[in-house]
């Protein structure tokens, strides 16, 4: 009697096909989840900036002239201003006194 050691080529091929199918299912979901998390973080940053702008108005009696008046003040952002996870700069509107949510790639 001969004892069998190792895998046959067919068995190895089946394992590779199963792993490929699992990867084809998992990778798009992981990529989509990462993009969604970045979009949510950006929206939260915009909300935080707008809240800080309102706090600045309450403290000084006027809206800031530029976003850096708020983001550069350690009373509002002691750990530094929030940054967009996509690397896009936040834009402050002197008309509406808000930072608008921007479109991401």
- Residues 73-90 have pLDDT tens digits of 999 999 999 999 999 999
List pLDDT tens digits, range 7-23: 788 888 999 999 999 98
Q: Does any domain span residue 59?
A: yes
Q: In the chain, how many domains are there? A: 1
For residue 32, pLDDT over 70 is answered with: yes
Q: Does any domain span residue 63?
A: yes
**pLDDT score at 2:** 62
* Contact between residue 74 and residue 49 where contact means Cβ atoms under 8 Å apart: no
For residue 70, pLDDT over 90 is answered with: yes
Please tell me the distance from the alpha carbon of residue 62 to that of residue 38, in angstroms, as a whole number: 32
Q: Does any domain span residue 83?
A: yes
Please tell me the distance from the alpha carbon of residue 53 to that of residue 69, in angstroms, as a whole number: 9
- Cα-Cα-Cα-Cα torsion 46, 47, 51, 54, nearest 10 degrees, comes to 60
The pLDDT mean for the chain works out to 89
Q: Does any domain span residue 2?
A: no
- The domain containing residue 71 runs over which residues? 9-99
Q: Does any domain span residue 4?
A: no
Q: Does any domain span residue 14?
A: yes
Q: What is the pLDDT averaged over residues 89-103?
A: 91
3-state secondary structure of 68: helix
**pLDDT score at 3:** 66
Burial class (CB in 10 A: 0-12, 13-18, 19+), 92: buried
């Amino acid at each position: 009697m001969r004892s069998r050691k190792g895998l046959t080529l067919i068995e190895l091929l089946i394992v590779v096909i199963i792993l490929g199918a699992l990867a084809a299912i998992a990778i798009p979901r992981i990529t989509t989840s990462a993009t969604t998390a970045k979009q949510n973080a950006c929206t939260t940053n915009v909300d935080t900036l707008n809240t800080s702008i309102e706090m600045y108005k309450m403290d000084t009696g006027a809206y800031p002239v530029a976003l850096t008046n708020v983001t550069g003040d350690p009373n509002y952002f002691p750990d530094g201003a929030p940054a967009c996870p996509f690397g896009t700069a936040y834009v402050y509107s002197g008309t509406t006194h808000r930072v608008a949510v921007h479109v991401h790639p």
